[in-house]
């Protein structure tokens, strides 16, 4: 295990921010809805580049306050921020010398990445930058814009060496320490160029992580599919990118938000399978985070204030064999502590059963309370079955997820399912 992944392994929960020119149409173009993937509106509706570029002349996010973003992310319990420095539309949200197509040439005129980098440095937050390396709908040689440019004349290398490499260098030399470059949609980019891009990152900042979507498993960890959680737990680091509603960029119409209970459930599932959750908000054209997103994240943040020990620095128990009818589990291997996440609170006799744990439990309480809980742990020899009953208070302490902390005598060991004698 490489050391530079340490912060990422412990962080578990990050804030994704999708913000760019697409926040202005917010999923509607000339009265026509393009509700899915509002950040894809240019491609979805084949908007001519010249027309889409007009948005830059309007972009003036006067409400954008980088310190507010970073402080909110902290309050919400998030340990890193991933910001879209350049999405597929090709527009740079920072001061780039490589292209005129940037935030500098808007009425706003100020470098957003610079402001976020300053605020993150002052507030001790890890800043990571999203960069769309293959798709670029502004560059004639970038991938994706088939309505403005003739594919036959395309020379991907011209785009790669003319825009991608120098822009990634700018991002990694002008803004201090960057935690990770978050690449996306490598499609069929040639492996040699992916390797070169990884080398560019490493040369500029050897400690900087590269996510899995650089392609060909050249990243430092695996990225799950968008909004997907694997069934099985993974031993290597991985991350699940998820958005709060259906779209990543701001939407005027998409109010299909996940409620706080669902977000917490997803976070616990991801963490219990060894991953990180990077959860997205899409600020509007003025730089304001949607109110509903703020409400949800702040509920989750309140839960984390009490229950953070069950998330940060935890994973699952390797090869734990059972699904749990009452919830999920997470586990801290350094402190030998198990966390039982009770989502479906039991009725009388108010107990939950954990089958399959071999290690002895020595102290049990609910997070946020020091009161010890009664337990009963046994081993049934003929069935070769370990059982741990935990007796909970009659009244459910937390409707969303009551976390039971179980201190173990040693490293957690799980039983295997199956009776064959070895």
Q: Which is nearer to ligand H79, 99 or 135 (CB)?
A: 135
CB of residue 46 vs ligand H79: minimum separation in angstroms?
Answer: 12
Whole-number Å distance between alpha carbons of 377 and 398: 25
Q: Which is nearer to ligand H79, 178 or 242 (CB)?
A: 242
Q: Which is nearer to ligand H79, 199 or 226 (CB)?
A: 226
> Which residue intervals of 248-327 are DSSP H helices?
260-272, 291-307
Q: Which is nearer to ligand H79, 185 or 319 (CB)?
A: 185
Contacts of 349 (CB under 8 A, 6+ apart): 391
Mask of contacts with ligand H79, 157-196, x by CB under 6 A? ---------------------------xx-----------
Judged by CB under 6 A, the stretch of 34-42, 70-78, 90-98, 382-390 that binds ligand H79 is 34-42
Q: Is 285 in the site for ligand H79 (CB under 6 A)?
A: no
Size of the site for ligand H79 (CB under 6 A): 11
Contacts of 323 (CB under 8 A, 6+ apart): none
CB of residue 130 vs ligand H79: minimum separation in angstroms?
Answer: 7
CB of residue 51 vs ligand H79: minimum separation in angstroms?
Answer: 19
Q: Which is nearer to ligand H79, 185 or 415 (CB)?
A: 185
Judged by CB under 6 A, the stretch of 35-43, 200-208, 251-259, 269-277 that binds ligand H79 is 35-43
Whole-number Å distance between alpha carbons of 216 and 15: 25
Whole-number Å distance between alpha carbons of 281 and 278: 10
Exposed, middle or buried by CB within 10 Å (0-12, 13-18, 19+), for 229? middle
Q: Is 40 in the site for ligand H79 (CB under 6 A)?
A: yes
Give the one residue of 44, 60, 105, 174 binding ligand H79; rule: CB under 6 A.
Answer: 44
Q: Which is nearer to ligand H79, 36 or 302 (CB)?
A: 36
Nearest residue to ligand H79 on Cβ basis: 37
CB of residue 213 vs ligand H79: minimum separation in angstroms?
Answer: 8
**How far, CA to CA in Å, does 70 sit from each of 5, 11, 76, 304, 403?**
22, 15, 10, 17, 28
Judged by CB under 6 A, the stretch of 37-45, 199-207, 356-364, 409-417 that binds ligand H79 is 37-45
Q: Which is nearer to ligand H79, 185 or 298 (CB)?
A: 185
Helix, strand, coil tally for the chain in percent (to 5)? 30, 25, 50
Q: Which is nearer to ligand H79, 44 or 377 (CB)?
A: 44
Q: Which is nearer to ligand H79, 133 or 310 (CB)?
A: 133
Judged by CB under 6 A, the stretch of 19-27, 31-39, 163-171, 340-348 that binds ligand H79 is 31-39
Q: Which is nearer to ligand H79, 240 or 386 (CB)?
A: 240
Using alpha carbons, select from 266, 15, 275, 249 the residue that is nearest to residue 127. 15
Whole-number Å distance between alpha carbons of 100 and 131: 17
Mask of contacts with ligand H79, 197-226, x by CB under 6 A? -----------------------------x
CB of residue 185 vs ligand H79: minimum separation in angstroms?
Answer: 5
**How far, CA to CA in Å, does 206 sit from each of 163, 179, 254, 346, 349?**
21, 10, 40, 50, 56
Tokens read off for 252 = 């005027």
CB of residue 277 vs ligand H79: minimum separation in angstroms?
Answer: 13
Give the one residue of 25, 144, 219, 241 binding ligand H79; rule: CB under 6 A.
Answer: 241
Using alpha carbons, select from 54, 88, 41, 65 the residue that is nearest to residue 253. 41
**What DSSP designation does 296 have?**
H
Q: Is 248 in the site for ligand H79 (CB under 6 A)?
A: yes
Using alpha carbons, select from 73, 96, 88 the residue that is nearest to residue 132. 88
Q: Is 39 in the site for ligand H79 (CB under 6 A)?
A: yes
Residue labelled with tokens 């009551």: 402
CB of residue 37 vs ligand H79: minimum separation in angstroms?
Answer: 2
Q: Which is nearer to ligand H79, 280 or 386 (CB)?
A: 280
Tokens read off for 141 = 């040689």
Dihedral sign from CA coordinates of 374, 342, 398, 271: positive
Whole-number Å distance between alpha carbons of 134 and 249: 19
Number of Cβ atoms within 10 Å of the Cβ of 300: 24
Number of Cβ atoms within 10 Å of the Cβ of 278: 26
Binding footprint of ligand H79 on the chain (CB under 6 A): 18, 36-37, 39-40, 44, 184-185, 226, 241, 248
């Amino acid at each position: 295990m490489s050391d530079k992944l340490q912060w990422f392994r412990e962080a578990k929960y990050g804030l994704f921010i999708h913000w760019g020119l697409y926040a202005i149409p917010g999923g509607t173009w000339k009265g026509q809805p393009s509700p899915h993937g509002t950040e894809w509106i240019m491609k979805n509706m084949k908007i001519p580049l010249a027309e889409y570029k007009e948005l830059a002349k309007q972009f003036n996010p006067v409400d954008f306050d980088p310190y507010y973003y970073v402080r909110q992310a902290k309050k919400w319990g998030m340990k890193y921020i991933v910001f879209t420095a350049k999405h597929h539309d090709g527009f740079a949200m920072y001061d780039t010398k490589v292209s005129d197509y940037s935030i500098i040439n808007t009425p706003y005129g100020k470098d957003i990445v610079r402001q976020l980098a300053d605020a993150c440095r002052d507030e001790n937050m890890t800043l990571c930058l999203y960069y769309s390396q293959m798709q670029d709908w502004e560059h004639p040689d970038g991938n994706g814009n088939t309505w403005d440019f003739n594919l036959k004349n395309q020379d991907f290398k011209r785009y790669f060496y003319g825009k991608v490499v120098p822009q990634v260098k700018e991002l990694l030399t002008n803004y201090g320490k960057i935690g990770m470059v978050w690449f996306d949609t490598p499609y069929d980019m040639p492996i040699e160029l992916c390797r070169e891009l990884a080398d560019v990152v490493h040369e500029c900042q050897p400690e900087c992580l590269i996510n899995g979507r650089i392609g060909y498993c050249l990243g430092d960890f695996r990225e799950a599919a968008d909004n997907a959680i694997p069934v099985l737990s993974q031993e290597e680091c991985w991350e699940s990118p998820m958005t709060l509603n259906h779209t990543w960029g701001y939407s005027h119409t998409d109010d299909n938000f996940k409620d706080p209970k669902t977000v917490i459930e997803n976070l616990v599932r991801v963490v219990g399978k060894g991953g990180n959750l990077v959860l997205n908000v899409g600020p509007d054209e003025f730089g304001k985070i949607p109110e509903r997103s703020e409400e949800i994240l702040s509920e989750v943040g309140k839960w984390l204030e009490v229950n953070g020990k069950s998330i940060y620095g935890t994973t699952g128990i390797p090869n734990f064999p059972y699904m749990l009818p009452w919830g999920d589990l997470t586990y801290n291997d350094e402190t030998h502590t198990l966390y039982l996440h009770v989502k479906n609170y039991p009725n009388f006799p108010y107990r939950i059963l954990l089958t399959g744990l071999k290690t002895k439990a020595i102290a049990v309480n609910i997070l946020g309370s020091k009161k010890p809980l009664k337990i009963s742990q046994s081993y049934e020899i003929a069935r070769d079955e370990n059982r741990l009953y935990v007796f909970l208070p009659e009244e459910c302490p937390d409707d969303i997820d009551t976390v039971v902390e179980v201190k173990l005598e040693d490293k957690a060991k799980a039983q295997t399912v199956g009776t064959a004698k070895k």
